[in-house]
Amino acid sequence: MKTVFIVDDNDTNLMSAKIALDGTYKTYALPSAIKMFALIEKIMPDLILLDIDMPDMDGFKAMEILQSDNRLKSIPVIFLTALNNPEAELRGLEMGAVDYITKPFSKPVLLKRIDTQINLNKSEITAGPVNMQSTDEVPKVQENRQAQSIPLDLNLNKNLNVNFIKGSYIILEDKRVPTQFYIILKGKVSLYNESHITARKKIDTLEPGDFFGVISAMSGHSQIETARALTDVVLMPIRSDNFNQFIQENAQMANKILIEFSKKMSSFNDLLAGLTFKKRSKLNTNILFNVAEYYANQKQYENAIYAYQKFIKTCPDDENIEIARDHLKQISVFENIEVLHEKSGDNIRIYPKNTLIFCEGESGDEIFFIKSGMVKISKIVDKREILLAVLTKGDIFGEMALLESKSRDASAVAYEESEVMVVSSTNFENLIKTQPLLVSRLTSLLAKRLWIMNKKISNTQISDPVGRMMDMLFIQLEMKRVNTNTENTFTFDFGPLELINMIGLSPIDGGMAVQKLVKFKYMGLSLGKIAIKDMPEFIKHVKYYRSTQQ
């Protein structure tokens, strides 16, 4: 029998909850949070029902202590309180509570929510691989579903499904590192992100056949979205360490996930570039011309010629066509440079340092896997280059144009001599069916990239440049999975200039912000690299700046 702690200073409320749970759970009625912490040293509960308004130590303070202790932070906590206001509910959920129930409560609803959270916590900690050999099947979704959805035909063990009642929070943004994501079998789920700018915050309604939580589960980072049950729902949890087996049996769903990732990546790229430079980048027939002009002005003539040639071939009726031809003629000494780029049909290609692999705006039907070297992914915005990512051995790029059958929305340049493996669109479907390990790797890499870009977009909403810098440093700690529960000094492998470029500040604004940053007692420089000298104080200030997001 599972154990539940009930913590409330009101004897009547305490006994009411205990009577409701007795017979279903082993309960301990505790009149204060202090009593709870004394008992928890002897007995570890499966769930805690926690009141908020209590003397000596209120529920919020108790929750803060629970979350700060690695032994206790995984215990599900449900606030059971008379405080019926959105501010208190939001605060409780942001602190890490799994649910929030107001008094007076309904006994069946209370029992159901407790059961849901205990079972969910158990499945995240102990669930084994999904049984793909079960003969049970989920009925196919009706054909009138939205065009981007595909029929479900999943083999699964129904005993592993999880249920949430209407109004329940399923995942919470910035809370816990998940080990699984979810596919909706029945009901509807609301999905949204609180940290993006209000004007762009999108609330999606998901239905059977849709999925959520994949980015965080497959990247191994904290949740970037909040999901709440709009109706009673039945979900199929897919463990990230079982993803290889899952896609072998469900190639259609694997392809759907990759396509959705690609769409998000494209959207995030445009949004990040636009927010960084305070205006949107426009993808139009001139983008190839603009890229060519940028490289010509930078005297990177090989790349300029490549972009001019692509522009002339792709947009023969564009108003800038004669200008492009004239500029191309002026640097005609490099007229044979396209040979370096056009190697269609090769599975393995070698690109010299600073060579364009593909150009923003051109069509694409190939995906690239880096075998050696480094590749830079960038966009040209307002005659400036914004660096989106630097990829290394094992990374994958070019997937967006391939999966969505659209033009490239960023350029790829060999940062150093690079060897890449190339997969064409005609071979990609076969890749999903025959190379589950490679597809799993692709999914994980895209998930990590999307997680990082989501964090960078949220970073742009911090108005103080110093705050943006500190938030970006914390993002780097999260990416590297650095233990922040330490008082040891941590030194990054980059200096102020790299940090300025990460958040897209001008040299003047960035320099002023760095001067302020290193004056903090908990910050500093070590051999030209940025260092954190007091991690707890640094974390405290990062939380403050994040709370100022507009």
DSSP line for 365-417: -EEEEEEES-EEEEEEETTEEEEEEEE-TT-EE-HHHHHHT---SSEEEESSS
Residue 469 amino acid letter: M
Kind plus residue range of the DSSP H or E element containing 16: helix 11-21
pLDDT, position 194: 66
d(C-alpha 351, C-alpha 416), whole Å: 8
Neighbours of 317 (CB within 10 A): 6
What local confidence, expressed as pLDDT, does residue 106 receive? 85
- pTM higher than 0.85 for the full model? no
DSSP 142: P
Tokens 């051999």, residue located: 527
User: Which residues contact residue 540 at a Cβ distance below 8 angstroms, ignoring those fewer than 6 apart?
Assistant: none
Chain length of the chain:
550
Residue 120 gets the label, from left (phi > 0), alpha (psi -120 to 50) or beta, of: alpha
What does the DSSP 8-state code read for residue 420? E
Q: In this structure, are strands 3-7 and 26-30 parallel, antiparallel, or unpaired?
A: parallel
Pairing of strands 523-526, 529-532: antiparallel
Query: Looking at residue 29, what is its pLDDT?
Result: 92
The reported pLDDT for the residue numbered 129 is: 34
What Rg do the C-alpha atoms of the chain give, in angstroms?
27
For position 47, what pLDDT does the model report?
A: 95
Q: DSSP string of 219-288?
A: HTS---SEEEESS-EEEEEEEGGGHHHHHHH-HHHHHHHHHHHHHHHHHHHHHHHHHHTTSPPP-STTHH
Q: Tell me, what's the pLDDT at 197?
A: 47
Residue 85 CA to residue 550 CA, distance in Å, equals 22
Spatial strand order in the sheet of 529-532: 490-491, 529-532, 523-526
Domains of the chain: 3-126 (3.40.50.2300), 130-249 (2.60.120.10), 278-443 (2.60.120.10), 462-547 (1.10.10.10)
| Cβ neighbour number for residue 167 with a 10 Å cutoff | 15
Residues of the chain with pLDDT under 70: 122-159, 175-176, 194-202, 266, 269-285, 332-346, 400-406, 425-426, 428-429, 432-433, 548-550
Q: What is the pLDDT of residue 156?
A: 46
